[in-house]
Amino acid sequence: MAAGTLTAIAGNTVREALRNRVLYTLVFFAVLLIGSGVLLATLSYVERERILQDVGLEAIRFFGATIAIFVGVGLIHKEVERRTVYTILSKPVSRGEFILGKYAGLVATVWLQVTVMATAFAAVVLLAGVSLSFAHLAALLLTALELALLVAVATFFSAFTTPMLAACFTLGSYMLGHLSRDLREIGAASDSAAVERATAALSWILPDLDSFNLTIQAVHGLPIAVHELAVPALYGVGYAGLLLLAAVFLFERRDLR
Amino acid sequence: MRGESPLRPDQRRKLSEPPVIVRVENVVKDFRPGLGLRTKRVLHGISFGVREGEIFGFVGPNGAGKTTTLKILMGLIHPTQGRAEILGHDVRETRFRRHIGFLPENPYFYEFLTGREFLRFYGRLAGLARAECAERGAMLLEWVHLTHAADARLATYSKGMLQRIGIAQALIHDPKVVFLDEPMSGLDPIGRKEIRDLILRLRGEGKTVFMNTHILSDVELLCDRVAIIVKGEIRHEGSSESFLADGEHQSDVVFANLPAELVARFEEEFGLHSAGRGERVELRVPDKRVAEVLQAALSLGAEVVSLTPHRVSLETFFLSAVANPGDS
C-alpha cells in the first residue's frame, strides 16, 4: 500500500472539507454552544464549574459526531455518483487505498475540528477559573477515538449503500452504541435465556461507545488509570480496523456503474 | 538461399505489425438490475485487439456496450466471463495502471481544486514525486492551453476547459495507452478541433489511443482501426480503409431525357432515386457497368447530366452493421 497515495487522497479529502462552508458553520455553532456553557452555568451556583465542563465536553462529542456521520455517510457514495472515483481508480490506486485514504482524510478533518472546539473549551473553562487536568486531555483523546470509530462505521455503510440508508444505519449504531451496556444489563435481568443471549450478542456486535466517555472523570477531577485509556483505544482501533476491512472487501467486489 | 527470409509473406506481414497491447477475449457481462432476480446480458462474448501506436475507434449506437467495455478495461466493472488485458496485465491488477490514462465521458472533477492542484493530485496518485508533478503539470497546462487558468478553480471552467484539463490528468504520468470515452461530447466545433489535434499529437508521440465514440466523422478523420459494437456484439473490426474498400464500387449517374423503355429497364436492374418521363433520372450503377449504361442511354438520345463515384462512408457501413446482424 503506497503511503504517497494514501496521503494524496487523505489530503484531498481534508482540502475539500476545509473549502466546505457547511463545516465552518457547524464548528461555529459548536464554539457558540461551548461558550454558552458560561450562561448555563449561572443557573446553578454550586454546580457552575461542573455544568460548564459538562456542556463543553458534550458539545464537542455531539458536533464531532454530527460531522462524522453526515460527511461520512456520503464519503464513498458521492465519489461514485459523481464519477470522480473513475479517474482515481484508473491510476495505480487500489480500491483499498481509496477507501483508507478517504477514511484517513475524514478522520483528520474531524480531529481538526475537535482541536478547534477543544481550544475553545479550554479558553472558556480557564477564563471561568477552572483548572485543566490530564483527565480533560484523556477525555478529549478518547472522544477523538470515538469519532474515528464512528467515521469507520459511516465509511463501512457508505461503501455499499446510499447516503440515506448509510445515515440511518450509522445514526442507529451511534445511538445504540451508547446503550449497548444497558442492553446487556437488561438482558441479564430478563427471565428469558433467549432474550439474554440476544441482547448479549447485540451488545457485542454494536460498538461500545460509552467506553470512550471520560466526561465524569474529567468534570469531577477523578484519577484515570492507564487501562481506562489503553483498553478503549485498543478496542476502538480493532473495531474500526475490522469495519474498514469489511468496507474494502465489499467495495472491491462492487461494479462501479 | 542466403539472405532470404524463411518466413512466408503473410508471416513476414504479421511480424511487421505492431503488437496487440489491449486484448479483450470472449468477455461476457451480465447485470442484475432491480432486486437482482433477473439477469440482463450486456456483452455477449466480445473479442478485439488494439495495436501499439494506433488510434482505435470503438463505435456503436447508444446502449451498445461501449462504456461497459471501457469500464471493464479500467477495472471499474468486473467481467462475468472472459479476459481483458492491457500491456500483458490482467485489467484487475492495479500497478500496471502507471502506464495508462483515462478520460471518462462528461467527467466531474473536484470543483474546489485549481487546475494546478488538480494535476498535482493526479500526479501524486500516479506515483510521481512532487517536483515531477509540478514540472509535468506546468508542461501539460501549456499543452492544453490552460496556463492562464492554472490557479482558477475548476468550478469556473467551461465544458471545453474541463475536457482539456481532463486529458491533461490522463497524461500527467506520460502513459503509453490513453483511453478516451466520448472525448468530443458536448464540445463546440472549436473545442472538437482542439481535442482532435490533441489526439493526433498523442499518436505522433507514439502513444496508443482507444477512443469510445458515436461520432463517425471523428472516427473517419482520426482512427486507424475501428470496431463496431451493436447490442453487446462486435459486428466488425478492421482498418478504416477496409470499411471503405469493402463492397462493390459504384457511381451515381444522372440522365436527362432518358427514354421510357430505358427508364423501365434501369429501374428493374438498378433501382431509381427519382424517375419520370422527360425528367432527370438518377441511378446508382456498379462501376463495371457504367460504360454499358452510358452507351445504351446516349445511343437513344439521353443526356448525361453528371457522373459521380460513390464510396461507402463509414456512416453507411455503420448503419448497415446496426441494421443487419449477420451482414456487415
Count of CB atoms situated within 10 Å of the CB of B47: 15
B125 and A91 within 8 Å at the Cβ level: the answer is yes
Substitution target in B113, B114, B125, B212 with the highest count of A β-carbons within 10 Å is B125
Over residues B27-51, the mean pLDDT reads 90
Distance from CA of A125 to the nearest CA of B (A): 37
Number of H helices, E strands in chain B: 11, 14
Looking at chain B, which residue has its C-alpha nearest residue A10? B121
A253 touches chain B (CB under 8 A): yes
For residue A221, name the pLDDT band (cuts at 50, 70, 90): confident
Residues 6+ apart with CB under 8 A from B244: B311, B312, B313, B314, B317
A29 pLDDT band (50/70/90 cuts)? confident
Give residue B267's pLDDT band: very low, low, confident or very high (50, 70, 90).
confident
Closest-CA residue of A relative to B33 is A257
Q: Which of A16, A94, A255 sits opposite B110 (nearest CB)?
A: A16
- B-chain CB neighbours of A10 within 8 Å are none
Cell 473536484 belongs to B110
Per the CB < 8 Å rule, is B124 touching A7?
yes
Q: Return the residue of B nearest to A1 by Cα.
A: B95
Q: pLDDT tens for residues B84-123? A: 999 999 999 999 999 999 999 888 899 999 999 999 999 9
Residues B163 and B285 in one domain: no
Shared domain for B47 and B149, answered yes or no, is: yes
Distance from CA of B124 to the nearest CA of A (A): 6
- When CB atoms are compared, the residue of B31, B94, B104 closest to A87 is B104
CA separation for the pair B45, B42 (Å, rounded): 10
Question: Which chain B positions have a beta carbon within 8 Å of A5's beta carbon?
Answer: 124-125, 127
Query: Which residues contact residue A198 at a Cβ distance below 8 angstroms, ignoring those fewer than 6 apart?
Result: A187
Chain A hits for B71, Cβ within 8 Å: 256-257
B67 and B135 inside one domain: yes
Domain containing B69 — which CATH number?
Answer: 3.40.50.300
Whether B8 is in a domain gets the answer: no
pLDDT at residue number B243: 62
The pLDDT of residue B327: 43
Question: Are B304 and B254 spatial neighbours (Cβ–Cβ below 8 Å)?
Answer: yes
Count of all residues that appear for chain B in the document: 328
Sequence-separated (6 or more) residues with CB below 8 Å from residue B260 = B277
> Of B76, B100, B125, which has the smallest distance from its Cβ to A256's Cβ?
B76
Q: Are residues B218 and B303 in the same domain?
A: no
What is the number of structural domains in chain B?
2
In sequence order, the 6+-apart residues with CB closer than 8 A to the CB of B224 are B54, B55, B56, B239, B240
How far does CA B44 lie from the centroid of its chain?
20
Are the beta carbons of B126 and A88 separated by less than 8 Å? no
pLDDT of B1 reads 46
Does residue B50 form part of some domain?
A: yes
Hey, are the CB atoms on B107 and A15 less than 8 Å from each other? no
* Residue B128 included in any domain: yes
Report the distance separating Cα B155 and Cα B110, nearest Å: 8
The packing angle between helices A95-127 and A226-252, to 10°, is 150
Q: Do A87 and B107 touch (CB under 8 A)?
A: yes
Domain co-membership, B136 together with B274: no
Residues B287 and B188 in one domain: no
What are the tens digits of pLDDT across the range A65-81? 998 988 888 888 888 88
Answer whether B127 sits within 8 Å of A5, measured CB to CB: yes
Q: Does residue B319 form part of some domain?
A: no
**Full-model pTM:** 0.82
Report the run of H or E that residue B59 belongs to, with start and end: strand B55-59
Minimal Cα–Cα distance from A3 to chain B, Å?
10
A22 touches chain B (CB under 8 A): no
Task: Return residues 86-105 of A near B (CB < 8 Å).
Answer: 86-94
**Contact present, A143 and A209 (Cβ < 8 Å):** no
Whether residue B97 is found in the same domain as residue B161: yes
| Interface check A228 vs B, CB under 8 A | no
Beta bridge partners of B226: B57, B238
Last residue of a domain, one of B196, B220, B244: B244
Residues B176 and B262 in one domain: no
Inter-chain contact B78–A92, Cβ cutoff 8 Å? no
> Counting one residue from A and one from B, how many pairs have CB atoms under 8 Å apart?
83
Domain final residue pick, B210, B228, B244:
B244
CB contact under 8 A, A86 and B94: no
In a domain, B195, yes or no: yes
Please give the average per-residue pLDDT across B46-63, as a whole number. 93
Contact residues on chain A for B127, CB-CB shorter than 8 A: 2, 4-5, 92
Average confidence (pLDDT) over B143-169? 93
B-interface mutation test, from A16, A83, A91, most B Cβ less than 10 A away: A91
The beta-carbon contacts of A133-136 under 8 Å, at least 24 apart in sequence, are A133/A218, A133/A221, A134/A224, A135/A214, A135/A217, A135/A218, A135/A221, A135/A222, A135/A223, A135/A224, A136/A53, A136/A57, A136/A218
Query: Mean per-residue pLDDT for B168-179?
Result: 96
Same domain, B240 and B268: no
**How far, in Å, are A230, B261, B283 from residue B268 at the CA level?**
95, 11, 11
- CB of A21 less than 8 A from some CB of B: no
Q: Determine the pLDDT at residue A46.
A: 63
Nearest Cβ partner for A19 among B103, B112, B121: B112
- φ/ψ of residue A199, rounded to 5: -70, -35
Q: What domain range is B127 assigned to?
A: 18-244
Chain A residues within 8 A of B76 when measuring between CB atoms: 86, 89, 255-256
- The CATH number of residue B258's host domain is 3.30.70.980
Say whether both B100 and B194 belong to one domain.
yes
Per-residue pLDDT band for A49 (boundaries 50, 70, 90) equals confident
Region of poorest pLDDT, from A114-118, A173-177, B215-219 = B215-219
B254 in the same domain as B196: no
Whether residue B322 lies inside any domain: the answer is no
Residues B143 and B264 reside in one and the same domain = no
Q: Quote ipTM for the complex.
A: 0.85
Taking the C-alpha atoms of residue B2 and residue B11, their distance in angstroms, rounded to an integer, is 19
